[in-house]
Amino acid sequence: MNTPAFDGLILGAHLATLDADHGYGEITDGAMGWRDGLLAFVGPRSQLPAEPHVLARDVIEASGWITPGLVDCHTHLVFAGDRAREFELRLQGASYEEIARAGGGIVSTVRATRAADEADLLRQSLPRARALLADGATTLEIKSGYGLDFDNERKMLRVARQLGDLLGIAVRTTYLAAHALPPEFKDRADDYITAVCEWLPRLQSEGLVDAVDAFCEGIGFSPEQTRRVFDTARDLGLPVKLHADQLSDLGGAALVAEFGGLSADHVEYTSLESVRAMAARGTVAVLLPGAFHVLRETRLPPLQAFREHGVAMAIATDCNPGTSPLLSLRQAMQLGCTHFKLTPEEALRGATVHAARALGLADRGVLRVGMRADFVQWQAGHPAELCYWLGGQLAEAVYASGRAL
């Protein structure tokens, strides 16, 4: 008996391959086959080399549209507790900075996360990850940064790895110990950064770190302190990314570009000079419209400058308990269109092609032979519907490495 060409073959849906610089890369009445977790055929059904039942063990008739699996390239979804009360305070007039300086914000989540053991932290985080997958995400980035000491940062990164194993998806872990100053280091930020740099090689040696991040901001860490963290990461061969220019322009986007960083994230206050630096080094701008929406910000990122200088724009949920309690990357795409006036095509590329690039991943984000068989079948009449509907369940089926989630 001949071995089938494909492990699986899906037929009939329109394909938004994104396999070109512009447009959706539409294939009408498409066919897509995969083998050993990789795409082995992408094209019109009419171009299949044989009858479907001869080609594949599992043949699926589908409708609607198929896109690459969504890539959520910026999340903080491993945490304990919530900050609903702070949401209420902001609606009553308190600013993000006022809440943080009064002991709320990141530090309040640190207290809850430190108090949770590893099993409890996994239990609380798993439903959030499942919600993201149910709405089309097949790759997640997960940051530490709510532990702020060695043992608790390690605990967070271990839970992130466990989520990937349990759900059968790719999880990229990012070390973000330089997220906030813990109480035990009050008024000793430089000493804390020394500790952050000392913990990193130990965590990397355990296989827990894929990239390194920091919060470069007036209520976070200075450019000089951030540079120390980046120098350590570079010495270890780890890529860097940065929470940059969210509340003010400290030149964070230019700093991460200087290090050849994967991405500068938030970037509301990024200057034209920093945009040029990002363009020169290929650093992706990660837009986080969920935080923009929740914080009711008004300062837009320099979107037209990014376009004019060829800076790729990704979109992510920024899923976190304080400023972006968002559990749908598709909803982040919608917010990107509404607040930032992205086109639906830009939003979809931002959550696939460019988001993968923001994680340093070249094997996903488009439907092309040889890429990972990560894709979503949507009950939609056009890809723009992914950004049109406010909520709802559009994902009919979600596949990671050719396996239905």
Residues in binding site for Fe(3+) = 74, 76, 243, 318
DSSP conformation class of 4 = P
Q: In what order do the strands lie in the sheet containing 263-266? A: 70-72, 137-143, 170-178, 211-216, 241-244, 263-266, 284-287, 313-315
For residues 109 and 131, what is the distance between their CA atoms, to the nearest angstrom?
21
Measured distance CA(372)–CA(401) in Å, rounded: 6
What does 55-74 look like in DSSP terms, one character per residue?
HEEEEEE--SEEEEPEEE--
- Nearest C-alpha neighbor of 252 from the set 215, 299, 211: 215
Q: Which residue positions form the known binding site for Zn(2+)?
A: 74, 76, 243, 318
Q: Which residues are annotated as a binding site for 4-imidazolone-5-propanoate?
A: 83, 146, 179, 246, 323
Contact (Cβ atoms closer than 8 angstroms) between residue 75 and residue 382 = no
Rounded CA-CA distance 117/46 in Å is 55
Enumerate the known binding-site residues for N-formimidoyl-L-glutamate: 146, 320, 322
* Triad 320, 128, 81: Cα angle to 5°: 55
- Residue 16 vs residues 20, 23, 32, 130, 349: alpha-carbon distances, Å: 10, 9, 11, 24, 10
* 107, 343 contact by CB (below 8 A): no
The H-or-E segment that residue 10 falls in is: strand 6-11
Candidates 4, 28, 5; CA nearest to 15 is 28
User: Per the annotation, where are the binding residues?
Assistant: 74, 76, 83, 146, 179, 243, 246, 318, 320, 322-323
In sequence order, what E strands does 28-169 have? 30-35, 38-44, 56-61, 65-68, 70-72, 137-143
Site of tokens 């001869």? 54
**Is the torsion defined by CA of 128, 132, 134, 140 positive or negative?**
negative
